[in-house]
Amino acid sequence: MTPRTNRWVLGARPRTLPAAVAPVAVGTAVGASEGPLRAWRALAALVVALALQVGVNYANDYQDGTRGADRDRVGPTRLVASGLAAPAQVRAAAVLSFALAAAAGLVLAIVVSPWLIVVGTASIAAAWAYTGGPRPYGYDGFGEVFVFVFFGVVATTGSAFVQHGRLSGLALVCSVPVGLLAAALLAVNNLRDRPRDAVAGKRTLAVRLGDRAARRFYALLVVIALACPLVIALARTRALIALVAVPLAVSPMRRVLSGAEGRALVTALGETARVQLVFAGALALGVWPR
C-alpha cells in the first residue's frame, strides 16, 4: 500500500467499521429466519452501511479540521488537521462515500420499497449534521443518540426489512444491543478526546458528564448490551450464543473504569470494536434459521 493510499485508509478510521458491519449481519440473519435469504440485498445493505460510516468519518475529519477542533489529537490520524490532505479533498471523499451509499440504497428502494429513500436521506442528512452545519449536534452531546438510532435501530431493522419488505419485531429487539455497542464505541472515543474537546468547545456527552460519569456511562452501555441476549432468547433460544462476547468485554471495561487515558483508550476502542464484532456475529448465528 502506497503512503498516499495508506493515509486515506487511516482517515477512513477502519476501527469504527464494525459499527457498520454488525447491524447488517444481525438484521440479515433475522430476515433469513423469517423467509428466504436474498444475498445480493444483504450485500447492498452492507455497502450502504459501510459507505455511510466512512462518509461520517471523512465528514467529521473535514468539519473538525476546518473548525480547528482536531489539534493535538491522541487517536487515529486526521487528514485535515495533520495536513495530509486538503479540506476540499476530504470533503469530496465524504461526498463520494455518501453518494455510494445513496446509489446502493436507491437500488434497494426500487426493488423493495420507496420508503427506503426517506430513510436513506434522513441517514445521510444526520451523518453530515453530526459535525456539520451551524450547530453540529455531535458538539452538543447527541452523538451517541445518533449512533444508537442509525447504526443500531435503523441499520438492523433496515437490513431485515430489505430481505422481505416488512418490518420485524425481532429485528427491532436485536437492534438494541447492536446500537448500544455502537454507542459504546463512540463513548470511549469521546472519553479519550474529552480534555481536548472541552478546550475546543465541543460539548460531547463525555464533556458534559465529566470524566467519572463518562466512564460509568460506557460501562453501562456495554453491560446492558451484553445482557440483551437473555431477553432475545425468549424468542430465539440460541441467541444465548452471543454471551460468548462477555469475556472479551472485561479488558476494555477494566481499562476505562480504572482511569486509563490517551493511548490506553485507543486500545480500549479497538477492544470494544472486537466485542461488537464477536457479539454481532454470535447473535447472527443465534437467530439464523436452523
Domains and CATH numbers, the chain: 3-287 (1.10.600)
Report the b/e string of 140-172 with b at 16+ CB within 10 A. ebbbbebbbbbbbbbbbbbbbbbbbeeebebbe
Are 152 and 176 in contact, with CB atoms under 8 Å apart? Answer: yes
Please give the pLDDT value at position 282: 98
For residues 175-189, average pLDDT: 96
- Show the cell assigned to 44: 447492498
- Distance between CA atoms of 11 and 86, rounded to whole angstroms? 12
| Inter-CA distances, 248 with 91, 99, 176, 271, Å | 36, 36, 19, 8
Confidence of residue 3 (pLDDT cuts 50, 70, 90): low
- Region of 201 on the Ramachandran plot (φ > 0 left; ψ -120 to 50 alpha; else beta): left
Would you give the distance in Å from CA 231 to the centre of its chain? Answer: 23
pLDDT at 5: 67
pLDDT digit string, tens, across residues 52-90: 999 999 998 888 888 766 555 555 667 887 788 888 999
